[in-house]
Amino acid sequence: MGEKVSRRDYLKVLGGTVGGLVVGAAIGYLAAPGKVVEKTVERTVTQTITATPTVTPTTPAKKVHLDFTVWNYDVEKIKDNVSKFMKKYPNIEVSVYDFNWPDFPTTMVKRFTVGTPTDVTYNGEDWLAQWASAGWVVPLEDLWDQYEVEHPWSFYINDMVPYAKMACTFEGKVYGLPYYSDIFTFIYNERMLKEKGFKPPKDWDEVREQCLEFKKDGIKYPYLLSFEPKDVFAWCNVLSSAYGRGARLFDEKLNPVFDEPDSPFVEQLQWYVDGIHVDKIVDPEWSTMHETIASKKMSAGEAVFCGLCKYNTAAMNTPGSGPEAGNLRVGLMPGKTHEAYGFAKMYNITKMCVNRGRDAVQAAITFIEYFGGSRGPVLKRWAVENGLGFGFDSPWEDPDIKNAMEKLYGPGSAEIIRQQAKLAICEPHPVWFGEWNDYVRKECLAKVFTKEITPKECVKLMAEKWNALRKG
């Protein structure tokens, strides 16, 4: 066959490789490209503009340009809102940049690292800690009252629903105004329940019993679990259902509590696993089920219960979406405590904007008040036209909004939704939450529902990853 490669040759190659690694690392270190971000970023959370605020007109004297980054939910409406804003404030020019939703956090991190001009951005509770601790966004709380605004900061703070406030807070400071706040709720088909003489289920055992009854009637899979691992929101409805039992993820010291023996979280996971594999009341298409598909199935009457974000009910009830349109209702989350998972999406001001000076910040604050304020036109528009939730309590007093909500969510729904909003929680998301969330979705929960691992093993993995990330 030819001469064999001798052992000495192998040792030579091995030595060469290790040597190459060391030399390579040295060359790399010496030749490393200049760091893009200054190493000495002195970020103090309590950074305030020290100049005494002079009263500047709300419309800045000269033209100010703002760069606004969003994710691509209803971009047409966003752009329409922006053009209306620009008509009202002709000296503020806004450019909208939209990115696709699954990649939004990574795109924004790269954007901030490179330093692409961004002034106002969408943000979510799961990335706030990350961006705030990196110094990319600044607390609105510190800036608000130093500029011309329609309502002072206290007005908005006292109006915020508790979970929305929690979602917008990092290290005790509120960073943004929650223009859109919602809850992962329990949705059911009222007509079908009334037909069988059922009341909305109070706990998960009752859900199971009712499902089994519906199965006898010929509905193949009465409960829809939408857990498509691709989707960042995927496990929020699972978490929300666990909150209904009174589960918590961690305590005040950020120690995981979900992996304690007999934790409600494990119980809820077990409920789903049994529902998929034992009772067969949960639709086995869960791994490709996204809220759009689930909504369609609910409107078509193919299922009776599901756990989805609240706004989906509005879509399901829209006339024309299916034979059951108008029959879907939001119910209180079954379980001992009826709590649910609430979140908030907010507008943030970036450090880059602050660095640009007073005019830029004034324009940005005017923008945020128009778009995110509880009395602003944009919040009302999202509520009335899209049925989106909001993070304040006062909009419910507005008859337009109340009527629009009742039209979309059903008569009498305002009461239930308001009650659920008061019972919703949003645990603080630490800096590493985004990464942990990614891992939990793809590696832990996806495997639990296929029965590759048991719920106990799953929470063990989750806790391991949590502790590993916490250390640093």
Partner 1 sequence: MPIKIRALKPQEKTALLMVLPAFFYIFVFTVYSYSQAFYLAFVKYKLVEPQTIGKFIGLTNFIDVIGATYFKDTIYETFIFTLMCTVIIVSLGIGVSILLNEKFKGVGLVRFIILIPWAIPPTAAGLIWRLMLYRSGWINRFGMMLGIIKEPIEFLGAGRIYQLVYALIAQMWQQLPFVSILLMAAHQLIPKDLLDAARVDGASWIKRLRHVTFPYIRNVIALVAIWEAIVAFTSYDILYTFSGGVWGIITYYAFAEGFSWMNLGHAAALSVIIAIFILIMISIILLIIPPKKIYEYSFVE
Partner 2 sequence: MRNQKIINMTRIVIIYLFSAILVFFALFPIITCYIGSITPETEIRSEPHKPIWVKGPTFYYYEYIFGAPFGMQFTTDPYLRYEAVRALVFTNVNYTLQILLNSFIVAAGVAFLNVLIGGITAYAFTRLRFPGSTGVFTFILLSRLLPPIIIAVPYYAICYSLGITNTLLSLLLVHGVITLPFTIWYLTLYYRTIPVEIEESALVDGCSYFQAFRKVAFPTASSGLMAAGLFSFMLSYNDLLFAQFLEEKVEVTTIPLFIAFLSTQTDLYFAIMYAVLSLTFIPVILMLIVLWKKLNITELVGALKM
Please report, as ranges, the residues that interact with partner 1 according to CB under 8 A.
1-5, 10, 13, 17, 21, 24-25, 27-29, 31-32, 35, 37, 39-41, 102, 106, 109-110, 113, 130-131, 133-135, 228-230, 284-288, 431, 435, 438-439, 442-443, 446-447, 449-452, 461, 464-465, 468
How is residue 423 written in tokens?
Answer: 């019972």
How is residue 327 written in tokens?
Answer: 């029959």
Q: Which is nearer to partner 1, 98 or 285 (CB)?
A: 285
Quickly list H helices, 217-320: 236-244, 264-277, 291-300, 311-317
Q: Which is nearer to partner 2, 34 or 218 (CB)?
A: 34
Give me the amino acid identity at 381: R
How is residue 249 written in tokens?
Answer: 């993820």
Q: Where on the phi/psi map is residue 79: left (φ > 0), alpha (ψ -120 to 50), or beta?
A: alpha
Q: Which is nearer to partner 2, 89 or 101 (CB)?
A: 101
| Binding track over 26-65 against partner 2, x by CB under 8 A | --x----xx-x-----------------------------
- 107 near partner 2 (CB under 8 A): yes
Q: Which does 72 bind (CB under 5 to 8 A by kind): partner 1, partner 2, none?
A: partner 2
To partner 2, the closest distance from the beta carbon of 438 in angstroms equals: 13
| Binding track over 297-316 against partner 2, x by CB under 8 A | --------------x--xx-
Q: Which of 45, 96, 157, 293 binds partner 2 (CB under 8 A)?
A: 293
Distance CA 376, CA 380 (A): 7
To partner 1, the closest distance from the beta carbon of 437 in angstroms equals: 11
To partner 1, the closest distance from the beta carbon of 19 in angstroms equals: 12
Q: Which is nearer to partner 2, 18 or 254 (CB)?
A: 18
For 51-176, strand residue ranges (E) read: 64-71, 92-99, 120-124, 137-138, 169-170, 173-174
Identify the DSSP state of 337. Answer: S
Distance CA 124, CA 179 (A): 11
| Binding track over 66-105 against partner 2, x by CB under 8 A | ------xxxxx-----------------------xxxx--
Query: How far, in whole angstroms, is CA 156 from its chain's centroid?
Result: 21
- 114 near partner 2 (CB under 8 A): yes
What is the number of other CB atoms lying within 10 angstroms of the CB of residue 406?
A: 15
Scan residues 413-442 and list those touching partner 2 (CB under 8 A).
none
**CB of 370 within 8 A of CB of 274?**
no
To partner 2, the closest distance from the beta carbon of 100 in angstroms equals: 6
Cα–Cα nearest to 234, from 5, 453, 448:
448
Q: Which is nearer to partner 1, 113 or 403 (CB)?
A: 113
User: How many residues are present in the chain?
Assistant: 472
Q: Which does 51 bind (CB under 5 to 8 A by kind): partner 2, partner 1, none?
A: none
Candidates 54-62, 242-250, 288-296, 352-360; binding stretch for partner 2 (CB under 8 A):
288-296
β-partners of residue 282 are 223
Scan residues 219-278 and list those touching partner 2 (CB under 8 A).
228, 230-231
Cα–Cα nearest to 67, from 38, 106, 93, 99:
93
Candidates 13-21, 85-93, 175-183, 382-390; binding stretch for partner 2 (CB under 8 A):
382-390
Element (H, E) at 108: helix 104-114
Identify the DSSP state of 335. Answer: S
Cα–Cα nearest to 286, from 301, 303, 300:
303
To partner 2, the closest distance from the beta carbon of 6 in angstroms equals: 19
CB-based burial label for 107 (10 Å; 0-12, 13-18, 19+): middle
List residues near partner 2 by CB under 8 A. 28, 33-34, 36, 72-76, 100-103, 107, 110, 113-114, 228, 230-231, 290, 292-293, 295, 311, 314-315, 318-321, 385-387
